[in-house]
Chains A and B, each alone.
Chain A
Amino acid sequence: MSQLIRNIACFEMDIPSGNHSVPLDFVNINDKTIQSVYFFSSTEDVLMFSPISGKQITQLGETGPFGIYMNLYDDKDNHFIKDYASDNFTIQSEMDHYVPYVINRKIDWEKSYLKTIVPDETEYLTVLIYVLYKTEKLNETVCESPSTISIELLPNEDFQDFCLADYVSAEININMIANISVSKRCSGYIDINAEKSVLENVPAHFFEIQSAKGFQTKPLKINLNQFFYRHRSFSREPVIITLSYTV
């Protein structure tokens, strides 16, 4: 029952201390049907930096001293998600402690907001917001027996970008990717610009989750020059990205 993803947009957000209604108007995906909205947070064991600003992603924890609630209005002015607690939709960098959900609506981002209660002694929180949305379907070729390739990347800096085209022999002609999986504790982001699909700075951890809560991409028609792994952590563990593909 993996959640199928076609497009993901990534936004970074700072949440100040105190009690606030933080507008979500910066999520400017107004004309698309939204599937789900998730937060991404670091954990103590897998600290990560933002792929956008380079700031450290806050460890929200599962029983943390905060109250963060999502409030969404749809384009028909229905307040259909009211005070949804963030620990249900926060995916942490090494766990699958969240609840998958699908909303399938267009959102009025101008009216939507987060209700936040953060103790005054806490510095602002930096979180990443991932918005899964639909676009026009690709004419997907039937992929009867995909081949598999594993690509090993060896990060030696905290911030390092790898273009996968540099690590795959030019003789291997990858046209359509059927599935992506990554090795454990992969502390970076996968950034793909495919035909009719954009996966923007998606935590590689999303493709590590093996339980029924995991994510799977729809087939992606891709040029590997547009497939990046963006390493953003202190970790120096090798990263293995495995692609199932057809030529």
Chain B
Amino acid sequence: MKNRIDGAVGVEIILQNGVSSYLLPCSELLSGMRILSVSFCNSNDVPKTPSGNQTLLIGVENLTLKLTDAATKESLHYQVSEIERDSEQLKFNQIIDFELSELIVTNTEYAEYYHERSVYLIFWYGTNTDFVLPENTEIFPLEMKINENKNYFKQDKYLINKEIIQIMLSFPGFTPSGAETLDRAFISNKFITLVGKNEILFSQIPLDFFHLSHSKNTFFLNFLSVDFDKSFIESITTETEELKNLFFNVVVKG
């Protein structure tokens, strides 16, 4: 991703028997935002959405995303199978009219595979610009213990009033404090919400998107100010083996 990301919003569409088109839930968080990219969460990476509903297992090839440009009202159709994450994501650079955009099921022959299954899309928004790897960066740690379904970060003094460029999840065996870390196998049911000064920047994004070392298209944040005291990670389950620590590094402008 060459662009600078201001935020991202997870959007869930629950499919129903006999229904072939779905208006995209018009999140207020996306209103007026310049959409740069869309990711589709497949059932391997995200078996369940934050609501706890199972994601679509098969039949992605029968899904089409119709996105309507807010200014021109022109609609473009995209195969959802083409925007599966970890492939080269489709690039957009437009403000979307969500009331005129929809998800279309093009083949309802195997409706039983779709019924009550969720499609989870991530809409990334920000500034379309050629991005140069920032110099003079500083890097700080950020640690969190998973204790319950909703877990808040603790703002570290190093991160107050800093312009954040990257937040990187990693999986060392132990955190710097010596605590055991969560196994990567338990990451697929966790979602991160990051809050700015007065607004939600990232809403319910699968945590694995922040495992940047594994990403082909490492993304950069648009020098964001994040209030970690208000930011949190949701975990769909909290089995005993999940009650461990998560470790991040935060890259800020020096």
Min CB–CB distance B214 → chain A (angstroms) = 5
Q: Check if B77 is an interface residue, CB within 8 A of chain A.
A: no
CB under 8 Å from chain A, chain B span 166-185: 166, 168, 170-176, 178, 183-184
Q: Please measure, in the bound complex, the distance between the C-alpha atom of A80 and the C-alpha atom of B138, giving whole angstroms.
A: 5
CB atoms of A97 and B140 under 8 A apart: no
Min CB–CB distance A76 → chain B (angstroms) = 11
Min CB–CB distance B160 → chain A (angstroms) = 14
CB atoms of A80 and B139 under 8 A apart: yes
Contact partners of B176 in chain A: CB under 8 A: 67, 69, 83, 115, 117
> How many interface residues does B have (CB within 8 Å)?
35
Q: Check if A187 is an interface residue, CB within 8 A of chain B.
A: no
Q: Which residue of A lies closest to B183 (CB)?
A: A63
Of the residues B131, B136, B183, B214, contact of A1 by C-beta under 8 Å? B131
Q: Which of B25-33, B109-117, B195-203, B246-254 contacts A (4 or more CB under 8 A)?
A: B246-254
Q: Check if B141 is an interface residue, CB within 8 A of chain A.
A: yes
Contact partners of B2 in chain A: CB under 8 A: 1
CB atoms of A88 and B168 under 8 A apart: yes
Min CB–CB distance B238 → chain A (angstroms) = 21
- Known: A1-B2, A66-B172, A97-B213. Is A85-B136 also a contact (CB below 8 A)? no
CB 8 Å contact bits of A59-93 with B (1 = contact, 0 = none): 00011111111000000001011111111100000
Q: Which residue of A lies closest to B212 (CB)?
A: A99
CB atoms of A82 and B137 under 8 A apart: no
CB under 8 Å from chain A, chain B span 195-249: 212-214, 216-218, 247, 249
Contact partners of A100 in chain B: CB under 8 A: 133, 218
Q: Please measure, in the bound complex, the distance between the C-alpha atom of A99 and the C-alpha atom of B173, giving whole angstroms.
A: 19
Min CB–CB distance A197 → chain B (angstroms) = 20
CB under 8 Å from chain B, chain A span 18-39: 19
Contact partners of A1 in chain B: CB under 8 A: 2, 131-133
Of all A-B residue pairs in the complex, the 4 with the closest CB atoms, nearest first, are A67-B174, A83-B141, A65-B173, A85-B170
Query: Interface residues, chain B, CB within 8 Å of chain A?
Result: 2, 131-141, 158, 166, 168, 170-176, 178, 183-184, 212-214, 216-218, 247, 249, 251, 254
Query: Interface residues, chain A, CB within 8 Å of chain B?
Result: 1, 3, 19, 62-69, 78, 80-88, 96-105, 115, 117, 119, 211-213
Other than the given A103-B136, A117-B178, 20 more pairs (CB < 8 A) read A1-B133, A66-B174, A67-B173, A67-B174, A80-B254, A81-B138, A82-B139, A83-B140, A83-B176, A84-B249, A85-B141, A85-B168, A86-B172, A87-B171, A88-B212, A101-B251, A104-B135, A105-B136, A117-B176, A212-B217
